[in-house]
Every structure is written in C-alpha cells, then in structure tokens.
Amino acid sequence: MNVVDLGFAEESTNAAWLSNRYFPSKLGGRPAWLELEALPTTAQLQCKKCQAQMAFLCQLYAAYEDEFNFHRSIYVFVCRNADCQQANNAENFTVLRSQLPLKNKFYSEQEPAEDGDPLPAIPSLKKLCAACGCLAPHTCSRCKEINYCSTGHQRAHWKQHKLNCGALKASLVSDTLPEVVFPEYEIVMERDSTSEAADKAEKDEAACLAEYEEFSASGKTGELSNVSENELDKYFGNAEEKEDKAFKQFKKQTAAEPEQIVRYKRGGEPLWIANTADTIESQLRTLPSCSHCQGPLQFEFQIMPQMLVLLKDDSLDWGVVAVFTCVRSCQISGYVEEHLIKQDIIAAAEEQS
C-alpha cells in the first residue's frame, strides 16, 4: 500500500495537553520527555558544527506493536546558528529515539483520560533547563534553585530570572524565550486520501502494462504506427510523467494538502523535493547501520518545508528532512541517536561553487 499519514500543526487551547503524560506529537515548545531518568546529555544535544546547544524542533509519538515499544517517541533537534546551515548537510540536526514497555516506572498502565482538565506533566527525575527543558547539569550560582543546560541558555534566561534570583524561593516557572524555544503546536496526524488514490492508479497502470506485454508476446500489438494515441496513453500515459523532475512530483503530491508539515510512512520511501542524483545520492548509498544494534535502518517520516513558516526563524531552511530509524526499533534504555538526511533544492555542485 502507498498509504501515507500526514501531520498538520494545530494550536492547542491548553499546552498542558502536550505534556509527556499524554504522549503527544508536537512542534516546538519544550520536549515532552518519554524516558524520564536517562535523558540525553548536553553533549548529545550539541551542534556537530559549532557545539552550541541545539533547539528542540519536534517529536512524533509512533509506537511499535511489540513488548518493549508500547510507548515510543522520536525527537528532532536543530541548531539555529545561520552559519551551520549547509545545503544537503544535516550535521546541524540530531534525531533521537526513546521507547518504553507498557509496564514501566514512569507511567500508569491505564490510558490517560482526555476529558475534563489536563493533569500536570509527569516530572523528570533529573533537573531540567529553565530555558529549553533539556537536561541541566548547571545551577545558578546565586540562588541554587534554577538549572541550565549551558551558559548560553543561562544568559538568555537571565532577563527573567534576575527579577527573583536570590529570593526565598525562586520561581521555577518561566515564559518561553523565542531565541531558544520555537512556537508550540500539536501535530495532528491524518490519513492522506490522495496517497490511496495514487496507490490505486499505480496498480491500474501496472495492470495495463501487463496487458500490453501479454499482447506483445502473442504478436497482437502490430506496428506502433497502427496504434492510436489514445491506446498508447492507456498503456504509457504516465511514463513521461515519471521522467519529470522530482520537484514537479513533489508539488503534485502535496498540492491537495499544502499545510502538511510531516509525512509519515514507516518502511516506505521519502517524497524528495529534488533529484537525488544531484543532491544526496552518496548519502543514500552509504546509509549507516543502527547505532545501537548495528541492524539496518529504514525511512520512517519526513519534515516538510511548510514547517519553516511556523518556526519564525529566517536562519533556518530546508527542502526535506528525512528521518531513518532502526528497522526493528531495537530494545534500548534512555535515548539512542538515529539518522537524518536533509535535502535542499540546491545541488551539491552548485553549493560548492
């Protein structure tokens, strides 16, 4: 089946519904951590180019049907430094996988109720950064009450914290900082009806081609000059379309739902925005193994360019961000790094010139 699930951004009337208690898929805000003890280290969340702390971009809740994947979330982080943005290069991104069995020490085995008012988030067992919500090994030297992941985030948060630093009980609640945290939205997943139609058309075309080959083998097709244009279209109507550039296909596939920010198709193929031969072919040929079990990776979902509109950050740009994860979603503890490929419309050769 060629079925794809699409993700759309929706503003939440109450951000508490996007806490880890409700296993959300979301864009921006602070991460809703799944595993609450073995959090990603500050080193894991540093940009590979400039070593600055990356910003939380989004997370998808995507459970597997096995014992140790009852809960499963994928987290994507990105560096916001404009100097780290390079065409067809994802070194300024990090993607992490976390998962838990149904019976675990953090969450109830009962599904959380979604009626009435939302309950508070399940608290982390580790201190979190007041600015970004990630693991915070550093503490304010004056009040000893507020924690940070880095000196950069401590400086960014000082305008808020200085108002009550040193008070009897410093406030642990702070407003989000636009330079650190992206605007927050829920990601709502819906089945892509156009992909089902495309799947049927693909099967119809395959049937027509098989019919033509059967006629050809039996000598019933005659000379091509004797076949009408309408008859040729029946068998080869989409052949020319397949040869068109990837960008044309990208626009065609997304035209019905232009607001999509995520396309999810575990084990499928990404919808590339440009010709892979001119952009990321070498990366696809050398796709790494799972960093934990050394097994193969598969495509799971992609982040679309429409997401950029919601981030309100002109320093960021991409065509497609494709996330590849362990085929088995192997058993882990804490958070393990997966693989990501960023494709831009600019060809690699053009970027170098």
Three-state DSSP string of 17-48: HHCHHHCCCEECCCCCCCCCCCCCCCCCCECC
* CB-count exposure of residue 134 (10 Å: 0-12, 13-18, 19+): buried
- pLDDT, one tens digit per residue, over 277-299 is 999 999 999 999 999 999 999 99
pLDDT at 170: 55
Is 257 in contact with 194 (CB distance < 8 Å)?
A: yes
Which of the four pLDDT bands, split at 50, 70 and 90, describes residue 42? Answer: very high
Inform me whether the pLDDT recorded for 205 exceeds 60.
no
Is 119 in contact with 17 (CB distance < 8 Å)?
A: no
The single residue listed with the structure tokens 């068109």 is 244
Residue 277: beta bridge partners? none
pTM for the model = 0.85
- In SS3 terms, 170-228 reads as CCCCCCCCCCCCCCCEEEEEEECHHHHHHHHHHHHHHHHHHHHHHHHHCCCCCCHHHCC
Task: Calculate mean pLDDT across residues 299-328.
Answer: 97
Q: What is the mean pLDDT of the chain?
A: 87
pLDDT at 323: 98
Is 170 in contact with 141 (CB distance < 8 Å)?
A: no
Residue 135 corresponds to which tokens in the numbers above?
């693991």
The single residue listed with the structure tokens 């693989």 is 339
Per-residue DSSP letter, 230: H
349 vs 181: which has the higher pLDDT: 181
Is 205 in contact with 238 (CB distance < 8 Å)?
A: yes
- pLDDT, one tens digit per residue, over 130-184 is 999 999 999 999 999 999 999 999 999 999 999 889 875 655 556 789 999 999 9
With left for phi above 0 and alpha for psi between -120 and 50, is residue 139 left, alpha or beta? beta
Is 138 in contact with 147 (CB distance < 8 Å)?
A: yes
- pLDDT, one tens digit per residue, over 77-126 is 999 999 999 999 999 999 999 999 999 999 999 999 988 999 999 999 99
CA distances from 178 to 167, 181, 218, 305 (A): 26, 5, 69, 20
